[in-house]
Amino acid sequence: MKNLILIRHAKSNWEATASDLDRPLSRKGITDAFSVSDAINKYLPKKFIVWSSIAKRAKETAIIYAQNLSIPLDTIIFKEELYTFDEDHLERTIKDCDNKYSSIVLFGHNEAITNFVNKFGDETFDTIPTSGFVSISFNEDDWGFIKNGKVVKTVFPRHLKE
């Protein structure tokens, strides 16, 4: 069994004069990242590997979650190949994961995350919102052969405001 947790980076600051790669989080993004990370602790597997895109907004989101969930910061693996908006590229990266890891927590970008969830999950979403958390379980024991996963839990910022 493989477990994949996809977290879309928190809302970024579009007013910042920075390249796409260097765009930081907005205040709302920081607040939402703290709120969602507070709500997900009970949904995390006991052991997992943490991957993040190299984009500043994804890194900052991963660091907020890690600090809030007592995940050592030096265990986050920042992967250039996760700076993608393409679900096929995201799929290849996930399927290349070493099978010694049963669970991945991944911080990345839209459209890749929404399209990946819609392709591999059993629920369909118009869009996974910023700071959105989606946990998918797969019956396969090999990352290379994952398919037809089950969406186990979603936590979106709007869920916490209702």
- 3-class secondary structure, 69: coil
Beta strands, E only, the chain? 2-8, 49-53, 76-79, 103-108, 133-138, 150-155
Relative to beta strand 49-53, strand 103-108 is parallel
**pLDDT-derived band at 100, boundaries 50, 70, 90:** very high
Residue 58 pLDDT > 80? yes
Higher confidence at residue 14 or residue 156? 156
Contact 39, 88 (CB under 8 A): no
Highest mean pLDDT among 17-26, 39-48, 144-153: 144-153
pTM: 0.95
The residues spanned by each domain of the chain are 2-160
Mean predicted lDDT score pLDDT of the chain: 95
How high is the pLDDT of residue 162? 63
Token pair belonging to 14: 């579009």
Q: Find the range with the poorest average confidence among 15-19, 77-81, 133-137.
A: 15-19
Contact 76, 106 (CB under 8 A): no
Q: What is the DSSP letter of 15?
A: T
Residue 147 pLDDT > 90? yes
**CATH code of the domain made up of 2-160:** 3.40.50.1240
